[in-house]
């Protein structure tokens, strides 16, 4: 009996379990399937407004003197007088007397040259008299054409040559006297002083080193992409009225600006940066209307470029990593104009700063450019427009 229960009980449990499984399988209810609703991302847009803009190229550079000169002695001697305030950094004007060299020997040389010239002039008068007498004698007793030697022409030419040499010697002596006074060739600042009162100098000795202070130059790097927006001399021309430049620098917590103009470019690209070096000049008038400059000052620069048509200024947030932007386009047939899709547009960036970007591309008046950052945004993606931002105030728009 016990063996029978061991066989029958498992079979009974299996039969009851199978029956229950079949019952539940036949009586189960189908789950209610609800449609999956995908909520599109919400974007902020700004209306594009193409316009004509004058492009300003931002760059920078170091101020340097337009010229530096090492003044050397043209004559030798002892320095007898030096300008009292002659020292490094002092400003001197063109023609200012800087120092004098002892001219005693040169005054004596000039007197000797004048004496020699007087002697030669006397010889010329005597020779001319002899030549006239020879011509008269030949006319009286001679026949045929007289030779040059008879008329004393070689002797006359020799005396004239000696007079020319005496005149040249006198001119040199007078020039040497003038050269004993050293003057500033242009408005400049003293960079280095190599002599002082009592110093003995010889021809070629360095006296002073000067930096021009009437005009300063700034060398500014410009990329090849920026060149398309600038009217620059690329064939070695020097421009009298080149593109205007506004320079600025912070001095004593005050932003100081200087006006300038591009005058030329260097011969080739910089080997390290592959950029073109542009040279601009800043005038320093004597009336003090322009703030004083100093060499070595680092300045920011804005070069006035050409006018660009169909340029659009937008917030920097519209720009993607590859200089593309996304446009909001309302869905076809959509009753709600706030629903639409994303369209990708390629653009060319003209200039950018910390908050805005100026670009050109396939943009029409009123196109809605997506200005908000959306994770995973892509071409053709469904989005919902939140609002239209006001158009940016134009900076540099031409009238």
CA distance 323 to 310: 17
pLDDT tens across 200-223, in order? 999 999 999 999 999 999 999 999
Is residue 313 a contact partner of residue 330, using CB atoms and an 8 Å limit?
Answer: no
Domain that holds residue 78: 74-101+181-212
The confidence score (pLDDT) of residue 387 equals 67
pLDDT at 130: 80
Query: Reduced to 3 states, what is the DSSP secondary structure of residue 219?
Result: strand
Instruction: Based on the fold, state whether residues 135 and 172 are members of the same structural domain.
Output: yes
Domain co-membership, 245 together with 299: yes
Question: Among 179, 197, 224, which residue terminates a domain?
Answer: 179
Number of residues that make up the chain? 399
| 303 in the same domain as 354 | no
* 133 within some domain: yes
Asked whether residue 339 is assigned to any structural domain, the reply reads: yes
Residue 186 lies in a domain: yes
Q: Are residues 169 and 119 in the same domain?
A: yes
pLDDT of residue 17: 72
Predicted pLDDT at 71: 93
Claim to verify: residue 367 and residue 321 sit in the same structural domain: yes
State the pLDDT at residue 398.
37
Going from the C-alpha of 326 to that of each of 57, 105, 145, the distances in angstroms are 26, 86, 106
Count of domains for the chain: 4
Tell me what pLDDT residue 145 has. Answer: 79
**What pTM does this model have?**
0.69
Q: Which residues of the chain have pLDDT under 50?
A: 335, 393-399
Domain boundary among 155, 179, 203: 179
Phi, psi of 372 (to 5 degrees): -95, 155
Q: Which residue matches tokens 């703030």?
A: 291
Same domain? 321 vs 382: yes
pLDDT at position 399, please?
34
Q: What is the CATH number of the domain that holds 313?
A: 2.40.420.20
Q: Both tokens of residue 165?
A: 């040499």
pLDDT computed for residue 6 by the predictor: 64
263 plus 220 within the same structural domain: yes
In a domain, 5, yes or no: no
Note the pLDDT tens digit of each residue in 46-103: 989 999 988 888 899 999 999 999 999 999 999 999 999 999 999 999 999 999 999 9
Task: Please state, in angstroms and as integers, the Cα–Cα distance from residue 138 to each residue in 28, 32, 127, 128, 145, following that order.
Answer: 159, 150, 16, 15, 9
Residue 138: name the closest of 125, 127, 149, 151 by CA.
Answer: 151
Domain termination site, one of 272, 307, 342: 307
């Amino acid at each position: 009996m016990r063996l029978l229960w061991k066989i029958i009980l498992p079979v009974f449990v299996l039969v009851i379990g199978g029956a229950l499984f079949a019952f539940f399988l036949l009586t189960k209810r189908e789950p209610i399937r609800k449609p999956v609703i995908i909520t599109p991302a919400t974007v902020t847009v700004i209306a594009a407004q193409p316009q004509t803009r004058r492009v300003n190229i931002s760059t920078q550079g170091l101020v340097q003197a337009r010229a530096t000169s090492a003044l050397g002695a043209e004559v030798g001697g002892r320095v007898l007088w030096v300008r009292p305030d002659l020292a490094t950094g002092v400003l001197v004007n063109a023609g200012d007397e800087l120092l004098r060299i002892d001219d005693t020997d040169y005054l004596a040389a000039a007197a000797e040259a004048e004496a020699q010239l007087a002697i030669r002039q006397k010889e010329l008068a005597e020779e001319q008299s002899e030549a006239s007498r020879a011509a008269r004698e030949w006319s009286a007793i001679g026949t045929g054409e007289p030779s040059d030697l008879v008329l004393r022409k070689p002797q006359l030419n020799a005396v004239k040559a000696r007079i020319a040499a005496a005149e040249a010697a006198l001119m040199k002596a007078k020039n040497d006297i003038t050269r004993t006074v050293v003057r500033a060739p242009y408005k400049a600042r003293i960079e280095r002083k190599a002599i002082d009162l009592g110093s003995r100098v010889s021809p070629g000795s360095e006296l002073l080193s000067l930096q021009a202070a009437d005009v300063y130059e700034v060398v500014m790097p410009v990329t090849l992409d920026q060149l398309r927006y600038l009217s620059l001399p690329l064939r070695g021309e020097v421009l009298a009225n080149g593109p205007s430049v506004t320079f600025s620098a912070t001095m004593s917590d005050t932003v100081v600006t200087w006006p300038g103009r591009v005058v030329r470019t260097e011969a080739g690209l910089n080997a390290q940066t592959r950029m073109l070096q542009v040279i601009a000049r800043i005038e320093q008038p004597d009336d003090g209307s322009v703030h004083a400059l100093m060499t070595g000052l680092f300045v920011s620069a804005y070069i006035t470029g050409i006018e660009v048509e169909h340029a659009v200024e937008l917030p920097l947030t519209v720009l993607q990593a590859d200089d593309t932007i996304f446009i909001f386009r309302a869905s076809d047939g959509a009753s709600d104009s706030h629903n639409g899709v994303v369209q990708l547009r390629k653009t060319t960036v003209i200039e950018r700063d910390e908050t805005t970007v100026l670009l050109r591309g396939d943009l029409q008046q009123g196109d809605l450019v997506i200005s908000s950052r959306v994770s995973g945004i892509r071409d053709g993606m469904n989005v919902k427009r939140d609002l239209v931002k006001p158009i940016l105030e134009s900076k540099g728009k031409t009238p």
